Structure 1
């Protein structure tokens, strides 16, 4: 399967770090005895035809691995090398469940020791085959040039990690005060709205208008969905905001100070903004359609 495997294993030493996630997060499977220590056994893919020397090297490397706890799936980085314009990452894929598992497409991140992302690639783990219970299987993950963000790839203390966030559905993130004040019916309506919308693209942050109302006192009250497609939470201290009506004309604009405001990774957070009448720029706006957007500097 990997014609260069023989040359790779000859002087192979473990230079990578380990990444471990819960089986519940990754494949939705969990067993009892979560604190139970599991020593994995070495497993080779049925299609691998390896010589005794190669098997000895993998067995030696495997014996050096730390045990897992029950309900963990791990990537243990072994070797990183550059071949034919690729960065080829060898790692053990480890399963501490008491059952055979299979995985589908999962995005992997190639990381520096400090967490800096060096590259990312979606991997079809079905090619790995069935991973036996309590086992570790060596595999080689090729990263093409387009998968990498830098040419400066470290030769030690790197990590191959599951991007669990990429598997999670985009979900509703409610502020604690909203959580307390909203009825279950209103919460479910918001969840349905978030679920019905297209998921933001990776690294995308956008705004979507939800409700708009001109108050009797002349203020404009809008509720906006703040949509975070990033893998990390976003902190917002200030938000310069403008509201446009169906004609595309600016109805109101102003800046809002937000204290300790966070939109969690891969979530949508609703928030209400009140434009005082002094910020209103247009009378009798047409709100048959409208949008909210950050003020462009």
Structure 2
């Protein structure tokens, strides 16, 4: 079974042509990894928005994950997310973290899966 790029209906309606092309290029041209961050921003509520291409290369659905957004090896924000990604499917998604701490102005950083044990350390 080959990896498929899926557009959630909310993304399908709102994504710009430029952003869509960017995500499609990430899907076809970058090495496969679980999360490829392509945009980081702070909204008007002070929440951290991390847009990423999720790549589920397994044979089982990806439903929920505990994630941390990490910059310079420091966790900036953490959260528990429920996103349904079918097996062998890639999908763009924006993760919203309510309380970022120590955020730099840089948009660099990555998403890291956490276990219950490691989340407690953050």
Alignment TM class, shorter chain as reference: 0.7 to 0.9
Please report how far the alpha carbon of residue 273 of structure 1 lies from its aligned counterpart in structure 2 after TM superposition.
1.5
* Alignment check: 8 A CA contact 2:50 2:96 kept: yes
* Alignment check: 8 A CA contact 1:208 1:226 kept: yes
Report what 1:253 is aligned to. Answer: 78
Q: In 2 relative to 1, CA 244–235 (structure 1 residues): closer, same or farther, beyond 3 Å?
A: closer
Q: Distance in 2 between matches of 1:186 and 1:286?
A: 21
2:12 pairs with 176, 179, 182, which one?
179
How many positions carry a matched residue from both structures? 116
Q: Distance in 2 between matches of 1:199 and 1:250?
A: 23
Q: In 2 relative to 1, CA 263–215 (structure 1 residues): closer, same or farther, beyond 3 Å?
A: same
1:212 pairs with 40, 48, 52, which one?
40
Residue pairs, 1:1-297, within 5 angstroms: 165=1, 168=2, 170-199=3-32, 206-230=34-58, 232-236=59-63, 238-245=64-71, 247-256=72-81, 258=82, 261-276=83-98, 279-282=99-102, 284-285=103-104, 287=106, 289-297=108-116
**Structure 1 runs not aligned, ≥5 long:** 1-164, 201-205
Higher strand share: 2
**Structure 2 runs not aligned, ≥5 long:** 117-122
Structure with greater contact order relative to length (CA < 8 Å, sep ≥ 6): 2
* Alignment check: 8 A CA contact 1:171 1:195 kept: no
Moved >4 Å (runs of 4+): none
Please report how far the alpha carbon of residue 290 of structure 1 lies from its aligned counterpart in structure 2 after TM superposition.
0.7
* Alignment check: 8 A CA contact 2:56 2:88 kept: yes
Q: Distance in 2 between matches of 1:182 and 1:288?
A: 20
Describe the superposition over 1:179-198 as per-residue Cα deviations: whole angstroms up to 9, x where unpaired: 12224443222111110112
Higher-Rg member (1/2): 1
RMSD: 2.2
* Alignment check: 8 A CA contact 1:253 1:275 kept: yes
Q: TM-score, normalised by structure 1?
A: 0.35
